[in-house]
């Protein structure tokens, strides 16, 4: 099998690195670098363990795209901090200054970043995955939303879920995803998407269908095939649904009309890469990488990244 194309859900990974690493990790000027160090170590581990031929660190050009807000105003609404410049994502004060450093490290290493104007990193990953017809794809993320991309063909897509750190990462293909959630063993990524729409997600402002949790949603999808089939059954008074179940779907009609377009990742975002997605055999600019290491007190994280690139 070909070496994989690895797609990093960068914001998800550096958010988790920020909270996993002590905030006592700082540069000489006092700037926190815990997220930079943790993220850099994750990239090094990915390169060493997965040995990708190609890799893209996918970025949020817009963490709350307008097209999703227009469809569902509650989408990520609780994360908004309104400042003098308008609405922006509320993130820890000591994390935001680290993001440019992370981008500088990636550039000096020669690792491609990818983004699309008006879209989230999830959409970049969705677009690159949808268009990949040559190599297997591995999505590295700490966010369950991307489980919807798991597939067996035309090229295999697996999600490596890093929610509890790399040492405890789960590798999810169709079989593993089906077993984990009680979903069908074929077309499992789409089944997960339908299940997640019904389940909802308060952290993203998705109300779901009241009274239908994860297990019930998975059972319904397994028995009836798809969310659309369930909506049609709920609209039919002669269906085998109980009156209570029908009413739950009918009460969620407005939500279900827009949720698939909100929850599904885009497959056609205009993705732009900073450089070739081929993993370099040596850092693109090792002196610049060493300078960043010294300036920001990145210690062994940069050493491990260089060693991983050198193979």
Q: Count Cβ atoms below 10 Å from residue 222 Cβ, excluding itself.
A: 16
Confidence tier at 87 by pLDDT (50, 70, 90): low
pLDDT in tens, 121-142: 999 999 999 999 999 999 999 9
Q: How far apart are CA 189 and CA 196, in angstroms?
A: 11
To the nearest 10°, the Cα dihedral for 117, 122, 123, 124?
70
pLDDT in tens, 212-229: 999 999 999 999 999 999
DSSP 237: T
Q: pTM of this prediction? A: 0.94
Is pLDDT above 70 for 296?
A: yes
CB 240 within 8 A of CB 233: yes
Cis amide bond preceding 154, omega within 30: yes
Location of structure tokens 């491990």: 304
Is pLDDT above 80 for 198?
A: yes
3-state helix, strand, coil in the chain (%, to 5): 50, 15, 35
Q: Give the CATH number of domain 5-287.
A: 3.40.50.1010
User: What's residue 84's pLDDT?
Assistant: 43
Q: How far apart are CA 188 and CA 173, in angstroms?
A: 9
Q: How far apart are CA 66 and CA 117, in angstroms?
A: 11
pLDDT in tens, 230-278: 999 999 999 999 999 999 999 999 999 999 999 999 999 999 999 999 9
Q: How far apart are CA 219 and CA 251, in angstroms?
A: 20
Each domain of the chain, given as residue ranges in start order, spans 5-287
3-class DSSP string for 63-128:
CCCHHHHHHCCCCCHHHEEEECCEEEECCCCCCCCHHHHHHHHHHHHCCEEEECCCCCHHHHHHHH
User: What's residue 1's pLDDT?
Assistant: 66
Long-range contacts of 285-288 (CB under 8 A, 24+ apart): 285/107, 285/108, 285/110, 286/108, 288/104, 288/108
């Amino acid at each position: 099998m070909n070496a994989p194309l690895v797609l990093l859900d960068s914001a998800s990974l550096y958010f988790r690195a920020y909270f996993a690493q002590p905030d006592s990790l700082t540069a000489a000027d006092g700037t926190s670098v815990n997220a930079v160090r943790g993220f850099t170590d994750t990239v090094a581990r990915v390169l060493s363990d997965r040995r990708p031929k190609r890799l893209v660190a996918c970025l949020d050009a817009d963490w709350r795209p307008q097209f999703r807000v227009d469809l569902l105003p509650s989408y990520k609404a609780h994360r908004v901090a309104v400042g003098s410049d308008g609405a922006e994502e509320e993130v820890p004060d000591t994390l935001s200054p680290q993001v440019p450093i992370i981008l500088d490290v990636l550039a000096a290493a020669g690792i491609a970043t990818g983004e699309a104007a008006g879209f989230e990193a999830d959409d970049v990953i969705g677009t690159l995955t949808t268009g990949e017809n040559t190599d297997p794809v591995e999505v590295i993320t700490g966010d369950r939303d991307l489980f919807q991309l798991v597939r067996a063909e035309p090229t295999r897509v697996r999600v490596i879920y890093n929610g509890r750190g790399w040492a405890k990462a789960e590798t999810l293909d169709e079989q593993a995803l089906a077993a984990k959630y009680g979903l069908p063993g074929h077309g499992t990524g789409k089944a997960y998407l339908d299940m997640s729409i019904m389940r909802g997600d308060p952290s993203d402002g998705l109300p779901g269908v009241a009274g239908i949790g994860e297990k019930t949603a998975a059972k319904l999808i397994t028995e009836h095939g798809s969310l659309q089939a369930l909506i049609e059954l709920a609209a039919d008074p002669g269906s085998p649904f109980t009156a209570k179940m029908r009413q739950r779907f009918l009460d969620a009609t407005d939500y279900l009309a827009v949720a698939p377009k909100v929850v599904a990742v885009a497959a056609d975002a205009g993705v732009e890469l900073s450089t070739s997605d081929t993993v370099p055999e040596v850092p693109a600019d090792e002196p610049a990488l060493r300078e960043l290491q010294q300036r920001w007190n990145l210690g062994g994280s940069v050493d491990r990244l260089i060693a991983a690139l050198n193979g």
